[in-house]
């Protein structure tokens, strides 16, 4: 099997773009990625596109061909949907196809447009990632679901709202210099603690925003990279996926995320690394408690011991294991279908040394991206490593 290189990455600004369509946003990110890779659109053999709610927000399904058309690419294109893990799942499939020699050049990415909807409409649209029959019809929304998970965590393992506030403060600080971030705004622990409640124990600064945006990466096989003399020093060396029951009440434990644990174990084994080898990570922090659950599932901390990692400075930009140097979903934003590949784009730049926060990880060689769907009913983990260009 061939090594899968990340030849180029592209991102739009994450934020409010209600006047732009998702295909327009994806064109910006995808063409930027092709330019970054120095790869011609005519060389692209397949497009893998993540989108969650296009039918609801834009009355548009069958978006794969539209994504390819937006890039000027004449190649097969498929839309992948796995809630917030949509482009992460798309990336996993692309990695496997490039590895197996079925595709030499792939564009993988995603886009989401949500701010053209009213708040109630976007909330209702996002809720379809939960179990409609047993959760949504009972009034469950994702702030409420993650509040239940946070409450269960606190009851089983301890921790406090202040611990979660440190997660929010850290990620806002990391986003300050990131031009792609929706919130380039510093906050304090006091700001987070005093912000309005959303669903107890979660408050406003525990939640990510509603975001429009797009991301893309260009994946190539090693032989193609060598033949075209591409500067592609980052490879996707591991991929894993896990699943869990959809509804929280059907799970044995809502204070852990076993789908992510399974995905991480598979990705580490695939790459031939362990959690101890990881230098930095981008994790799916749709809510602050989600970052805690992610870091434990990834094996960075024992179960019940990750809640105060930000407070202790372990996961801050100058800590032993920086997490979400992009600002994470919390501050960079969460355009649902674009999030998975945006994490990989950020990590690629951090490992290459051309990210605004690369100075915090100058010797980093191994990174992990963790992308989750819903209340982690689905999860995808990828290992990225710096390799010889």
- pTM (2 d.p.): 0.98
Length of the chain, please? Answer: 389
Residues 214, 215, 218, 219: is their CA dihedral positive or negative? Answer: negative
Give the Å distances, CA to CA, from 316 to 165, 325, 380. Answer: 13, 8, 23
Q: Among the options 13, 84, 180, 284, which is catalytic? A: 84
**% helix / strand / coil in the chain, to the nearest 5?**
40, 20, 40
Q: Are 106 and 95 in contact (CB under 8 A)?
A: no
283-339 confidence digits (pLDDT tens): 999 999 999 999 999 999 999 999 999 999 999 999 999 999 999 999 999 999 999
Residues 169, 234, 15, 92: is their CA dihedral positive or negative? Answer: negative
Residue ranges of domains in the chain: 4-118+209-386
200: how many CB neighbours lie within 10 A of its CB? 11
Q: Do the bridges between strand 105-112 and strand 46-50 make them parallel or antiparallel, or are there none, so unpaired?
A: parallel
Active site residue 208: no
Burial of 27 (0-12, 13-18, 19+ CB in 10 A): buried
Active site residue 286: no
What's the CATH architecture for 4-118+209-386?
Answer: 3-Layer(aba) Sandwich (3.40)
91-131 confidence digits (pLDDT tens): 999 999 999 999 999 999 999 999 999 999 999 999 999 99
Residues 156, 157, 159, 163: is their CA dihedral positive or negative? Answer: negative
Q: What is the pLDDT of residue 3?
A: 85
Nearby residues of 253 by Cβ (< 8 Å), 6 or more positions away: 152
Q: Among the options 172, 203, 284, 334, which is catalytic? A: 334
Question: Is 138 a residue whose pLDDT tops 70?
Answer: yes
Q: What is the pLDDT of residue 388?
A: 76
């Amino acid at each position: 099997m061939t090594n899968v290189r990340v030849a180029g990455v592209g991102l739009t600004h994450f934020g409010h773009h209600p006047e732009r369509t998702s295909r327009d946003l994806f064109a910006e990110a995808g063409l930027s990625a092709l330019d970054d890779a120095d790869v011609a659109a005519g060389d692209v053999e397949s497009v893998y596109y993540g989108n969650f709610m296009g039918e609801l927000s834009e009355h548009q399904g069958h978006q794969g061909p539209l994504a390819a058309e937006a890039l000027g690419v004449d190649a097969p294109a498929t839309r992948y949907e796995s809630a917030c893990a949509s482009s992460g799942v798309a990336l996993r499939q692309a990695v496997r196809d490039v590895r197996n020699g079925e595709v030499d050049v792939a564009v993988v990415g995603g886009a989401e447009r949500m701010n053209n909807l009213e708040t109630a409409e976007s909330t209702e649209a996002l809720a379809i990632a939960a179990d409609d029959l047993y959760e949504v019809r009972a009034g469950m929304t994702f702030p409420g679901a993650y509040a239940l998970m946070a409450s269960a965590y606190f009851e089983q393992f301890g921790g406090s709202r202040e611990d979660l506030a440190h997660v929010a403060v850290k990620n806002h600080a990391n986003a300050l210099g990131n031009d792609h971030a929706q919130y380039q705004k510093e906050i304090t622990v006091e700001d987070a603690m005093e912000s309005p409640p959303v669903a107890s124990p979660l408050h406003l600064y525990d939640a990510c925003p509603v975001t429009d945006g797009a991301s893309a990466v260009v994946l190539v096989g090693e032989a193609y990279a060598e033949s075209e003399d591409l500067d592609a020093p980052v490879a996707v060396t591991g991929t894993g996926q896990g699943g869990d029951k959809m509804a929280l009440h059907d799970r044995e434990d809502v204070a852990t995320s076993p789908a992510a644990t399974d995905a991480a174990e598979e990705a580490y084994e695939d790459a031939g690394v362990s959690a101890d080898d990881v230098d930095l990570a981008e994790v799916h922090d749709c809510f602050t408690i989600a970052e805690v659950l992610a870091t434990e599932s990834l094996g960075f901390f024992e179960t019940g011991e990750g809640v105060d990692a930000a407070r202790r400075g372990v996961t801050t930009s100058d800590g032993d294991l920086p997490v979400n140097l992009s600002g994470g979903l919390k501050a960079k934003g969460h355009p649902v279908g674009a999030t998975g590949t945006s994490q990989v784009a950020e990590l690629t730049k951090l490992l290459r040394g051309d990210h605004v926060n690369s100075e915090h990880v100058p010797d980093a060689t191994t990174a992990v991206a963790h992308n989750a769907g819903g209340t982690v009913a689905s999860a995808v983990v990828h290992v990225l490593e710096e390799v010889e260009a």
